[in-house]
Amino acid sequence: MPATSAAFGRRTFFRGAGVGLAGLAGAALLGCSDDEPSGDGGEGTATGTTAAGGTATAGGELEKTDLRVGYLPITDATPLVLAQGLGYYEEAGLKPSDPTLFRGWSQIAEAFQAKQVDIVHLLMPMAIWLRFGQNFPLKLVAWNHTGGSALTVANDVNSLQDLSGTVFGIPFWYSVHNVVLQMLLREAGITPITTGDPKAGEVKLVVMAPPDMPAGLANGSISGYIVADPFNAVAEVNGVGKILRFIPDVWFEHACCVALMHEDDVVNRPNWSQAVVSSLAKAQVYARENRTEAARLLSNEGNGYLPQPLEVIERAISHYDIAEYGPTGAIQHADWDTQRIDFQPFPYSSYTERLVEELKKTVVEGDNAFLQDLDPAEAHRMLIDDRFARQAIEAAGGAERFDIDPSLEREERIDV
């Protein structure tokens, strides 16, 4: 069962991101080394060179065994908590405490910065902001999942143009949700604004607590929202809204949340780091191949990691029916052969680079000047250490187990 975090002090963590105390409330959720060689993945005793010049050895002696996991109660957290529930951490020689459930992005990020947790999942744009906007020494060691989000609207909204002049909910300024929403709005000729009342041709973006989004949709205070599941599934099951577009149908197999570790752990404890990432990859395989049982384990009928009913979680994990969603336009790329949410650990450089480019075009509250001179390729090199994911993929059975190309390279597919 998850432990629940205590409240942290009234710090100024997000002021640099333009999010004051009101923004923190809106973002709440309920239910430096710059060089790191790639490292070759391999089976058994494959090794990868660390940034400190050591090696990460599959099955090598762990530099420590304690593990503290922090997560938010959304389906994006699936691998982090399933690895606990299925005993994969213990099988790797780790001694995890119960995963700690945090109620908001501010709390989980502050706990991570204070080293009260060892590994967390955070929004990838948020990881970019932490690393380059705040100079916090972290490493992105794996993708936590792909997809898992949707654009949900009121039942009388049938197109993006119908959003003109309305207020729309987003979970956080530095989120792939905000990035993709603004891609869609630009294509529709609609201008996003952050203050004032929206006029025709504008949409006002407001940061909201995801659990408040379905209620806001039901009472008419917002026209829709874009967010991670299971909150889209909540609107569907409760009949208060519908999905206008799945986000993995806009940006193929994109990463929303990613797994972050402290840079000093990655550098000085490579065998421990490898054990953690390999456990996550193993849980990702389980979630891909056992979606119904994974949903049960996440729900209160299993280990209670997420507060939503099993019906909602199962829909969020597995319901991506082309016959249902194709005619409405929620799915426009049946040929992409993707899922509502999927799982694989490898952090593609092409995605990091394109995301940095898109963030530079995205309207946010606050100062985002750090992005202007951020080179996309350099950002990937400094932010990400992919050697653990490479080795974890091999240990889990190879790239085919995750339905990804063995080259671990790809071109980004985006179609708004």
- pLDDT, tens digit, 9 for 90 and up, residues 23-69: 333 333 333 333 333 333 333 333 333 333 345 555 689 999 999 99
pLDDT(230) > 90: yes
pLDDT in tens, 306-347: 999 999 999 999 999 999 999 999 999 999 999 999 999 999
Question: What does the alpha-carbon distance between residue 316 and residue 159 come to, in Å, rounded to a whole number?
Answer: 23
Q: Are 58 and 395 in contact (CB under 8 A)?
A: yes
pLDDT in tens, 102-158: 977 778 999 999 999 999 999 999 999 999 999 999 999 999 999 999 999 999 999
pLDDT over 70, % of the chain: 87
Give residue 201's pLDDT: 97
pLDDT(77) > 70: yes
Give residue 287's pLDDT: 98
**Mean pLDDT calculated for residue range 225-246:** 97
Give residue 39's pLDDT: 36
pLDDT(396) > 60: yes
Mean of pLDDT over the chain? 89
Provide the whole-model pTM: 0.88
pLDDT(391) > 90: yes
Residue 151's beta-bridge partner residues? 226, 245
Give residue 211's pLDDT: 83
Give residue 57's pLDDT: 59
Give residue 46's pLDDT: 33
Q: What is the DSSP string of 322-385?
A: HHHHTTTTS---GGG---SEE------HHHHHHHHHHHTTS--SS--GGGTT--HHHHHHHHB-
Helix (H) or strand (E) holding 257, with range, is: strand 257-262
Give residue 1's pLDDT: 73
Backbone angles phi, psi at 345, to 5 degrees: -95, -15
Question: Which candidate, 382, 16, 381, places its Cα nearest to that of 173?
Answer: 16
pLDDT in tens, 247-263: 999 999 999 999 999 99
CA distance to 128, 175, 224, 377, 381, per residue, from 374 (Å): 10, 17, 32, 9, 12
Q: Which domains does the chain have, with CATH numbers?
A: 3-146+256-308+339-402 (3.40.190.10), 149-253 (3.40.190.10)
Give residue 137's pLDDT: 98
Give residue 275's pLDDT: 98
Give residue 20's pLDDT: 36
Cβ–Cβ contacts within 10 Å for residue 301, how many? 12
**Mean pLDDT calculated for residue range 197-217:** 94
- Residues, the chain: 416
Q: Lowest mean pLDDT: which of 4-13, 67-76, 195-204, 207-216?
A: 4-13
Give residue 43's pLDDT: 31
Sheet of 3-4: strand order equals 3-4, 100-101, 69-71, 119-123, 257-262, 138-143
* Start-end of H helices in 53-104: 78-85, 88-91
Q: Are 64 and 128 in contact (CB under 8 A)?
A: no
Per-residue confidence band for 209, with pLDDT thresholds at 50, 70 and 90: confident
Give residue 56's pLDDT: 58
β strands within 50-136, DSSP E: 55-57, 66-67, 69-71, 95-96, 100-101, 119-123
Q: Which two tokens stand for residue 396?
A: 């889990």
Give residue 31's pLDDT: 32
Per the listing, tokens 């949410």 go with 341
Omega of the bond leading into 211 within 30 degrees of 0 (cis): no
- Residue 31's SS3 state is coil
Give residue 33's pLDDT: 37
What counts of helices (H) and strands (E) characterise the chain? 16, 18
Q: Are 355 and 184 in contact (CB under 8 A)?
A: no
DSSP state of 276: H
Backbone angles phi, psi at 103, to 5 degrees: -95, -5
Give residue 58's pLDDT: 58
Question: What does the alpha-carbon distance between residue 109 and residue 101 come to, in Å, rounded to a whole number?
Answer: 12
Q: Are 27 and 19 in contact (CB under 8 A)?
A: yes
Give residue 55's pLDDT: 54
